[in-house]
Protein backbone atom coordinates (compact mmCIF):
# COMPACT_ATOMS: atom_id res chain seq x y z
CA UNK A 1 0.00 0.00 0.00
CA UNK A 2 1.35 3.41 -0.95
CA UNK A 3 0.59 6.94 0.00
CA UNK A 4 -1.55 7.32 -3.12
CA UNK A 5 -4.11 4.81 -1.86
CA UNK A 6 -7.56 5.99 -0.76
CA UNK A 7 -8.21 7.05 2.83
CA UNK A 8 -11.33 7.28 4.92
CA UNK A 9 -11.77 9.67 7.91
CA UNK A 10 -11.62 8.04 11.34
CA UNK A 11 -12.60 9.44 14.73
CA UNK A 12 -9.92 9.77 17.40
CA UNK A 13 -11.96 7.58 19.74
CA UNK A 14 -11.83 4.69 17.22
CA UNK A 15 -8.06 4.79 16.76
CA UNK A 16 -5.98 1.89 18.10
CA UNK A 17 -4.39 2.65 21.46
CA UNK A 18 -0.88 2.66 20.00
CA UNK A 19 -1.94 5.12 17.34
CA UNK A 20 -3.36 7.55 19.92
CA UNK A 21 0.00 7.49 21.63
CA UNK A 22 2.39 7.84 18.68
CA UNK A 23 0.28 10.40 16.79
CA UNK A 24 0.43 12.99 19.55
CA UNK A 25 2.67 15.89 18.45
CA UNK A 26 6.13 15.77 20.02
CA UNK A 27 6.81 19.47 19.53
CA UNK A 28 5.06 22.79 19.07
CA UNK A 29 3.19 22.80 15.75
CA UNK A 30 3.72 25.94 13.66
CA UNK A 31 2.84 24.86 10.11
CA UNK A 32 0.35 22.41 8.67
CA UNK A 33 1.81 19.03 7.75
CA UNK A 34 0.71 15.44 7.21
CA UNK A 35 2.31 12.29 8.56
CA UNK A 36 1.67 8.65 7.57
CA UNK A 37 2.00 5.76 10.02
CA UNK A 38 2.51 2.38 8.32
CA UNK A 39 1.10 -0.64 10.15
CA UNK A 40 -1.00 -3.77 9.72
CA UNK A 41 -3.72 -4.38 8.83
CA UNK A 42 -4.27 -0.67 8.04
CA UNK A 43 -2.12 2.40 7.57
CA UNK A 44 -3.05 5.71 9.19
CA UNK A 45 -2.62 9.30 8.06
CA UNK A 46 -2.62 12.30 10.41
CA UNK A 47 -2.85 15.97 9.45
CA UNK A 48 -1.67 18.57 11.98
CA UNK A 49 -2.85 22.14 11.44
CA UNK A 50 -3.03 25.34 13.47
CA UNK A 51 -6.06 27.60 13.06
CA UNK A 52 -6.26 30.83 15.06
CA UNK A 53 -3.65 29.56 17.47
CA UNK A 54 -5.51 26.26 18.11
CA UNK A 55 -4.15 22.87 17.15
CA UNK A 56 -6.46 20.71 15.03
CA UNK A 57 -5.70 17.10 14.23
CA UNK A 58 -7.48 15.05 11.54
CA UNK A 59 -7.16 11.29 11.18
CA UNK A 60 -7.63 8.92 8.23
CA UNK A 61 -7.40 5.13 7.87
CA UNK A 62 -6.47 3.33 4.65
CA UNK A 63 -9.45 1.80 2.88
CA UNK A 64 -7.47 -1.31 1.93
CA UNK A 65 -5.48 -3.65 4.11
CA UNK A 66 -1.71 -3.37 3.88
CA UNK A 67 0.18 -5.97 1.84
CA UNK A 68 2.53 -8.20 3.78
CA UNK A 69 5.76 -6.63 2.53
CA UNK A 70 8.22 -4.07 3.92
CA UNK A 71 7.82 -0.40 3.31
CA UNK A 72 9.83 0.45 0.13
CA UNK A 73 11.26 3.53 1.83
CA UNK A 74 12.77 1.45 4.61
CA UNK A 75 13.98 -1.42 2.35
CA UNK A 76 17.45 0.00 1.52
CA UNK A 77 18.09 0.68 5.22
CA UNK A 78 17.30 -2.97 6.05
CA UNK A 79 19.75 -4.16 3.36
CA UNK A 80 22.48 -1.88 4.69
CA UNK A 81 21.92 -3.10 8.23
CA UNK A 82 22.08 -6.76 7.13
CA UNK A 83 25.35 -6.12 5.25
CA UNK A 84 26.87 -4.43 8.30
CA UNK A 85 25.81 -7.30 10.59
CA UNK A 86 27.27 -9.93 8.19
CA UNK A 87 30.56 -8.07 7.79
CA UNK A 88 30.84 -7.56 11.54
CA UNK A 89 30.24 -11.29 12.12
CA UNK A 90 32.87 -12.31 9.56
CA UNK A 91 35.39 -9.91 11.04
CA UNK A 92 34.76 -11.19 14.55
CA UNK A 93 35.30 -14.83 13.46
CA UNK A 94 38.57 -13.96 11.70
CA UNK A 95 39.70 -12.01 14.71
CA UNK A 96 39.11 -15.01 17.01
CA UNK A 97 40.97 -17.40 14.71
CA UNK A 98 44.08 -15.31 14.17
CA UNK A 99 44.43 -13.41 17.45
CA UNK A 100 42.84 -15.50 20.23
CA UNK A 101 45.39 -14.48 22.85
CA UNK A 102 44.42 -10.79 22.59
CA UNK A 103 40.77 -11.28 23.57
CA UNK A 104 39.84 -10.29 27.10
CA UNK A 105 36.46 -11.64 28.27
CA UNK A 106 34.01 -9.07 29.50
CA UNK A 107 33.47 -9.24 33.27
CA UNK A 108 30.06 -10.34 34.56
CA UNK A 109 28.54 -7.36 36.33
CA UNK A 110 26.45 -8.27 39.37
CA UNK A 111 23.97 -5.70 40.65
CA UNK A 112 25.23 -4.25 43.96
CA UNK A 113 23.58 -5.43 47.14
CA UNK A 114 23.15 -2.55 49.52
CA UNK A 115 23.56 -3.49 53.18
CA UNK A 116 23.58 -1.52 56.40
CA UNK A 117 27.18 -2.56 57.23
CA UNK A 118 30.36 -2.13 55.16
CA UNK A 119 31.00 -5.34 53.19
CA UNK A 120 34.14 -7.33 54.02
CA UNK A 121 36.76 -7.59 51.28
CA UNK A 122 37.30 -11.27 50.44
CA UNK A 123 40.74 -12.78 49.83
CA UNK A 124 39.32 -14.40 46.68
CA UNK A 125 40.90 -12.58 43.69
CA UNK A 126 37.63 -12.72 41.71
CA UNK A 127 36.24 -9.15 41.51
CA UNK A 128 32.82 -8.59 43.10
CA UNK A 129 30.91 -5.35 42.55
CA UNK A 130 29.62 -4.05 45.92
CA UNK A 131 28.16 -0.83 47.26
CA UNK A 132 31.55 0.02 48.83
CA UNK A 133 34.35 1.83 46.91
CA UNK A 134 35.82 -0.38 44.09
CA UNK A 135 38.69 -2.73 44.95
CA UNK A 136 41.67 -3.09 42.59
CA UNK A 137 41.56 -6.28 40.53
CA UNK A 138 44.48 -8.35 39.24
CA UNK A 139 44.26 -7.54 35.52
CA UNK A 140 43.65 -3.89 34.67
CA UNK A 141 40.71 -3.48 32.30
CA UNK A 142 40.00 -0.51 30.05
CA UNK A 143 37.51 1.92 31.54
CA UNK A 144 34.02 1.53 30.02
CA UNK A 145 31.28 4.08 30.37
CA UNK A 146 27.94 2.41 31.05
CA UNK A 147 24.93 4.00 29.33
CA UNK A 148 22.19 4.57 31.94
CA UNK A 149 19.02 2.57 31.40
CA UNK A 150 16.25 4.94 30.37
CA UNK A 151 13.54 5.27 32.97
CA UNK A 152 9.84 5.01 32.21
CA UNK A 153 7.62 8.02 32.94
CA UNK A 154 6.11 6.14 35.89
CA UNK A 155 9.43 6.33 37.73
CA UNK A 156 9.22 10.13 37.65
CA UNK A 157 5.58 10.53 38.63
CA UNK A 158 6.26 11.02 42.35
CA UNK A 159 8.45 14.08 41.85
CA UNK A 160 7.49 17.37 43.53
CA UNK A 161 4.89 16.16 46.06
CA UNK A 162 2.25 18.68 47.09
CA UNK A 163 -0.06 18.13 50.07
CA UNK A 164 -3.32 20.09 50.06
CA UNK A 165 -6.11 20.25 52.64
CA UNK A 166 -9.46 20.07 50.85
CA UNK A 167 -12.40 21.28 52.95
CA UNK A 168 -16.00 20.09 52.81
CA UNK A 169 -19.22 20.33 54.82
CA UNK A 170 -21.94 17.66 55.13
CA UNK A 171 -24.98 18.01 57.37
CA UNK A 172 -23.53 21.19 58.84
CA UNK A 173 -20.36 19.37 59.93
CA UNK A 174 -17.16 20.90 58.59
CA UNK A 175 -14.10 18.78 57.97
CA UNK A 176 -11.25 18.37 55.52
CA UNK A 177 -9.17 15.74 53.75
CA UNK A 178 -5.42 16.11 53.28
CA UNK A 179 -4.15 14.53 50.10
CA UNK A 180 -0.79 14.51 48.33
CA UNK A 181 -0.53 14.96 44.58
CA UNK A 182 2.65 14.88 42.51
CA UNK A 183 3.98 17.43 40.07
CA UNK A 184 5.61 14.66 38.05
CA UNK A 185 2.27 13.08 37.16
CA UNK A 186 0.58 16.47 36.67
CA UNK A 187 3.36 17.47 34.25
CA UNK A 188 2.95 14.17 32.41
CA UNK A 189 -0.78 14.84 31.95
CA UNK A 190 -0.14 18.46 30.91
CA UNK A 191 1.80 17.21 27.88
CA UNK A 192 -1.13 15.07 26.72
CA UNK A 193 -3.49 16.45 24.09
CA UNK A 194 -6.60 18.08 25.60
CA UNK A 195 -8.16 19.59 22.50
CA UNK A 196 -10.81 18.18 20.19
CA UNK A 197 -12.05 18.78 16.67
CA UNK A 198 -15.56 17.33 16.29
CA UNK A 199 -16.82 15.56 19.39
CA UNK A 200 -15.66 16.53 22.90
CA UNK A 201 -17.15 13.39 24.43
CA UNK A 202 -15.46 10.85 22.15
CA UNK A 203 -12.23 12.71 21.47
CA UNK A 204 -11.43 14.16 24.90
CA UNK A 205 -13.78 13.44 27.80
CA UNK A 206 -13.54 9.65 27.68
CA UNK A 207 -9.73 9.90 27.56
CA UNK A 208 -9.67 12.29 30.52
CA UNK A 209 -11.81 10.02 32.68
CA UNK A 210 -10.29 6.67 31.72
CA UNK A 211 -6.56 6.60 32.41
CA UNK A 212 -4.69 3.84 34.23
CA UNK A 213 -2.17 6.19 35.89
CA UNK A 214 -4.95 8.47 37.10
CA UNK A 215 -6.93 5.53 38.46
CA UNK A 216 -3.90 4.31 40.41
CA UNK A 217 -2.90 7.66 41.91
CA UNK A 218 -6.43 8.74 42.85
CA UNK A 219 -7.38 5.50 44.59
CA UNK A 220 -5.85 6.72 47.91
CA UNK A 221 -8.20 9.72 47.74
CA UNK A 222 -11.20 7.44 47.20
CA UNK A 223 -10.14 5.41 50.24
CA UNK A 224 -9.67 8.59 52.31
CA UNK A 225 -13.25 9.62 51.48
CA UNK A 226 -14.55 6.17 52.41
CA UNK A 227 -12.77 6.32 55.76
CA UNK A 228 -14.67 9.47 56.68
CA UNK A 229 -18.00 7.61 56.88
CA UNK A 230 -19.43 4.10 56.72
CA UNK A 231 -22.52 5.44 54.94
CA UNK A 232 -22.07 5.34 51.12
CA UNK A 233 -24.45 8.31 50.61
CA UNK A 234 -22.45 10.40 53.07
CA UNK A 235 -19.28 9.45 51.19
CA UNK A 236 -20.85 10.71 47.96
CA UNK A 237 -21.92 13.98 49.59
CA UNK A 238 -18.40 14.45 50.98
CA UNK A 239 -17.04 14.12 47.45
CA UNK A 240 -19.62 16.61 46.14
CA UNK A 241 -18.88 19.25 48.78
CA UNK A 242 -15.15 18.49 48.47
CA UNK A 243 -15.15 19.44 44.77
CA UNK A 244 -17.54 22.39 45.21
CA UNK A 245 -15.06 23.94 47.68
CA UNK A 246 -12.15 23.76 45.23
CA UNK A 247 -11.52 27.38 44.13
CA UNK A 248 -12.94 28.46 40.79
CA UNK A 249 -10.35 29.31 38.14
CA UNK A 250 -11.40 32.81 37.14
CA UNK A 251 -8.29 33.19 35.01
CA UNK A 252 -9.38 30.14 33.02
CA UNK A 253 -12.84 31.63 32.54
CA UNK A 254 -11.46 34.77 30.91
CA UNK A 255 -8.64 33.02 29.04
CA UNK A 256 -8.71 31.93 25.41
CA UNK A 257 -7.45 28.38 25.95
CA UNK A 258 -9.85 25.57 25.07
CA UNK A 259 -7.80 22.88 26.80
CA UNK A 260 -9.53 20.36 29.03
CA UNK A 261 -7.82 19.07 32.15
CA UNK A 262 -7.53 15.64 33.68
CA UNK A 263 -9.27 15.33 37.07
CA UNK A 264 -5.82 14.74 38.58
CA UNK A 265 -4.58 18.07 37.18
CA UNK A 266 -7.56 19.94 38.65
CA UNK A 267 -6.89 18.34 42.01
CA UNK A 268 -3.17 19.15 41.85
CA UNK A 269 -3.77 22.75 40.72
CA UNK A 270 -6.55 23.11 43.33
CA UNK A 271 -8.63 25.18 40.93
CA UNK A 272 -10.77 24.73 37.85
CA UNK A 273 -13.64 26.00 35.72
CA UNK A 274 -17.01 24.24 35.54
CA UNK A 275 -15.83 21.53 33.12
CA UNK A 276 -12.67 20.77 35.14
CA UNK A 277 -14.53 20.47 38.43
CA UNK A 278 -17.41 18.52 36.89
CA UNK A 279 -15.02 15.95 35.39
CA UNK A 280 -13.32 15.57 38.77
CA UNK A 281 -16.62 15.10 40.64
CA UNK A 282 -17.96 12.68 38.02
CA UNK A 283 -14.78 10.63 38.36
CA UNK A 284 -15.03 10.51 42.18
CA UNK A 285 -18.74 9.62 42.25
CA UNK A 286 -18.25 6.92 39.65
CA UNK A 287 -15.34 5.45 41.62
CA UNK A 288 -17.53 5.47 44.74
CA UNK A 289 -20.00 3.31 42.81
CA UNK A 290 -22.69 5.84 41.86
CA UNK A 291 -24.47 5.98 38.53
CA UNK A 292 -23.15 9.29 37.21
CA UNK A 293 -23.58 11.51 34.15
CA UNK A 294 -22.25 14.81 32.89
CA UNK A 295 -24.74 17.50 31.83
CA UNK A 296 -23.12 19.39 28.94
CA UNK A 297 -24.78 22.71 28.05
CA UNK A 298 -23.75 25.23 25.41
CA UNK A 299 -21.57 27.22 27.83
CA UNK A 300 -21.61 25.17 31.01
CA UNK A 301 -21.14 21.71 32.48
CA UNK A 302 -22.62 20.12 35.61
CA UNK A 303 -22.93 16.63 37.09
CA UNK A 304 -25.91 14.34 37.52
CA UNK A 305 -26.22 11.47 39.98
CA UNK A 306 -28.88 8.77 39.79
CA UNK A 307 -31.79 9.60 42.10
CA UNK A 308 -35.48 9.10 42.63
CA UNK A 309 -37.59 10.48 39.80
CA UNK A 310 -39.15 12.84 42.37
CA UNK A 311 -35.93 14.82 42.55
CA UNK A 312 -34.35 14.42 39.11
CA UNK A 313 -33.44 17.09 36.56
CA UNK A 314 -36.14 17.43 33.87
CA UNK A 315 -37.09 13.72 33.90
CA UNK A 316 -33.54 12.58 33.17
CA UNK A 317 -33.41 10.27 36.20
CA UNK A 318 -30.42 12.17 37.59
CA UNK A 319 -30.28 14.86 40.28
CA UNK A 320 -28.57 18.10 39.22
CA UNK A 321 -25.27 19.02 40.94
CA UNK A 322 -23.63 22.41 40.41
CA UNK A 323 -19.84 22.11 40.87
CA UNK A 324 -18.57 25.68 40.53
CA UNK A 325 -19.26 26.54 44.18
CA UNK A 326 -21.04 25.12 47.27
CA UNK A 327 -24.65 24.60 46.18
CA UNK A 328 -27.43 22.31 47.44
CA UNK A 329 -27.86 19.14 45.38
CA UNK A 330 -30.89 19.57 43.01
CA UNK A 331 -30.73 23.38 43.38
CA UNK A 332 -30.58 25.03 39.93
CA UNK A 333 -29.48 28.68 39.96
CA UNK A 334 -31.85 30.99 38.10
CA UNK A 335 -29.01 32.71 36.25
CA UNK A 336 -25.26 32.38 36.09
CA UNK A 337 -22.52 34.94 35.66
CA UNK A 338 -22.95 36.62 32.29
CA UNK A 339 -26.67 35.87 32.09
CA UNK A 340 -26.39 32.17 31.21
CA UNK A 341 -29.36 29.99 32.20
CA UNK A 342 -29.58 26.20 32.40
CA UNK A 343 -31.71 24.64 29.66
CA UNK A 344 -33.86 21.52 29.93
CA UNK A 345 -32.15 19.61 27.10
CA UNK A 346 -28.42 19.21 27.83
CA UNK A 347 -26.19 16.69 26.12
CA UNK A 348 -25.91 13.80 28.61
CA UNK A 349 -22.62 11.89 28.86
CA UNK A 350 -22.97 8.67 30.81
CA UNK A 351 -20.05 7.22 32.76
CA UNK A 352 -19.62 3.47 32.86
CA UNK A 353 -19.35 1.48 36.07
CA UNK A 354 -21.47 3.04 38.82
CA UNK A 355 -24.88 1.64 39.74
CA UNK A 356 -25.80 3.16 43.13
CA UNK A 357 -28.70 5.62 43.56
CA UNK A 358 -28.18 8.63 45.84
CA UNK A 359 -30.88 9.66 48.32
CA UNK A 360 -31.23 13.43 47.91
CA UNK A 361 -34.64 13.89 49.55
CA UNK A 362 -33.31 16.13 52.35
CA UNK A 363 -31.33 18.25 49.89
CA UNK A 364 -34.34 18.59 47.60
CA UNK A 365 -36.48 19.85 50.52
CA UNK A 366 -33.81 22.39 51.51
CA UNK A 367 -33.40 23.50 47.89
CA UNK A 368 -37.15 24.17 47.58
CA UNK A 369 -37.13 26.15 50.83
CA UNK A 370 -34.16 28.20 49.68
CA UNK A 371 -35.92 28.97 46.38
CA UNK A 372 -38.99 30.18 48.31
CA UNK A 373 -36.86 32.35 50.60
CA UNK A 374 -35.02 33.88 47.63
CA UNK A 375 -38.37 34.72 46.04
CA UNK A 376 -39.24 36.85 49.12
CA UNK A 377 -36.58 39.38 48.16
CA UNK A 378 -33.48 40.79 49.81
CA UNK A 379 -35.16 41.68 53.12
CA UNK A 380 -36.50 38.86 55.32
CA UNK A 381 -38.23 38.94 58.67
CA UNK A 382 -36.49 37.42 61.67
CA UNK A 383 -38.10 33.97 61.34
CA UNK A 384 -37.38 33.58 57.65
CA UNK A 385 -33.89 34.97 58.02
CA UNK A 386 -33.13 32.37 60.71
CA UNK A 387 -34.35 29.65 58.36
CA UNK A 388 -32.24 31.03 55.50
CA UNK A 389 -29.19 31.29 57.75
CA UNK A 390 -29.54 27.70 58.97
CA UNK A 391 -29.72 26.23 55.46
CA UNK A 392 -26.95 28.50 54.24
CA UNK A 393 -24.64 27.41 57.07
CA UNK A 394 -25.46 23.72 56.63
CA UNK A 395 -24.15 23.83 53.05
CA UNK A 396 -21.69 26.72 53.43
CA UNK A 397 -23.52 28.57 50.68
CA UNK A 398 -21.74 31.86 51.45
CA UNK A 399 -18.34 30.29 50.76
CA UNK A 400 -16.52 32.39 48.18
CA UNK A 401 -14.45 30.33 45.72
Q: Are strands 33-37 and 44-51 parallel, antiparallel or unpaired?
A: antiparallel
Q: pLDDT band for 309, please (50, 70, 90 cuts).
A: very high
* Angle at CA of residue 391, ends 390 and 393, nearest 5°: 65
Position 142 pLDDT exceeds 50 = no
Position 324 pLDDT exceeds 90 = yes
Of 10 and 143, the structure prediction assigns the larger pLDDT to 10
Q: Please report which residue ranges of 270-360 form alpha helices under DSSP H.
A: 274-287
| Cα separation of the two ends of the chain | 57
**Whole-number pLDDT of residue 134:** 36
Rounded distance between C-alpha atoms, residue 301 and residue 275, angstroms = 5
* Angle at CA of residue 10, ends 5 and 12, nearest 5°: 135
Using an 8 Å Cβ cutoff, are 168 and 242 in contact? yes
**Whole-number pLDDT of residue 107:** 33
Using an 8 Å Cβ cutoff, are 166 and 266 in contact? no
Q: Which residues contact 393 (CB under 8 A, 6 or more apart)?
A: 172
In this prediction, what percent of the chain has a pLDDT beyond 90? 46
Position 359 pLDDT exceeds 70 = yes
Task: Provide mean pLDDT across the span 195-219.
Answer: 80
Give the model confidence (pLDDT) of 24-38 as tens digits. Answer: 776 666 678 888 888
**Whole-number pLDDT of residue 27:** 62
**Whole-number pLDDT of residue 375:** 93
Of 353 and 68, the structure prediction assigns the larger pLDDT to 353
**Whole-number pLDDT of residue 266:** 96
If 0-12 CB within 10 Å is exposed, 13-18 middle and 19+ buried, where does residue 346 land? buried
When mean pLDDT is compared over 39-43, 185-189, 272-276, 287-291, the highest value belongs to: 287-291
**Whole-number pLDDT of residue 271:** 95
Rounded distance between C-alpha atoms, residue 182 and residue 195, angstroms = 23
Cα–Cα nearest to 240, from 206, 201, 204, 290: 290
Task: Provide mean pLDDT across the span 208-234.
Answer: 96
Using an 8 Å Cβ cutoff, are 286 and 292 in contact? yes
Position 218 pLDDT exceeds 80 = yes
Q: pLDDT band for 256, please (50, 70, 90 cuts).
A: very low
Q: pLDDT band for 394, please (50, 70, 90 cuts).
A: very high
Position 352 pLDDT exceeds 80 = yes
Give the model confidence (pLDDT) of 170-200 as tens digits. Answer: 999 999 999 999 999 999 998 876 665 556 6
| Helix, strand counts (H, E) of the chain | 12, 10
**Whole-number pLDDT of residue 117:** 39
Q: pLDDT band for 74, please (50, 70, 90 cuts).
A: very low
Amino acid sequence: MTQSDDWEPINYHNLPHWMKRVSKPKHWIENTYTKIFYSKPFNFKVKYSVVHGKLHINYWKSTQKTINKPDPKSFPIIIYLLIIVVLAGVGFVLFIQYAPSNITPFPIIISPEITASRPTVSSNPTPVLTASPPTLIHTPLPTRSLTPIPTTPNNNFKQTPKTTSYSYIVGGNRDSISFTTYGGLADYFSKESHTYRYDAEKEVIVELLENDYQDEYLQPLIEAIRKKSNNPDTQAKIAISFVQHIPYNWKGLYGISMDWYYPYETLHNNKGVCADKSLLLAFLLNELGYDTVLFEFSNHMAVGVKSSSNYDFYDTGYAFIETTRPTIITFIPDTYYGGFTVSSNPHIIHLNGGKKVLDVSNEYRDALTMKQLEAMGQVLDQSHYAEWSKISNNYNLQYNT
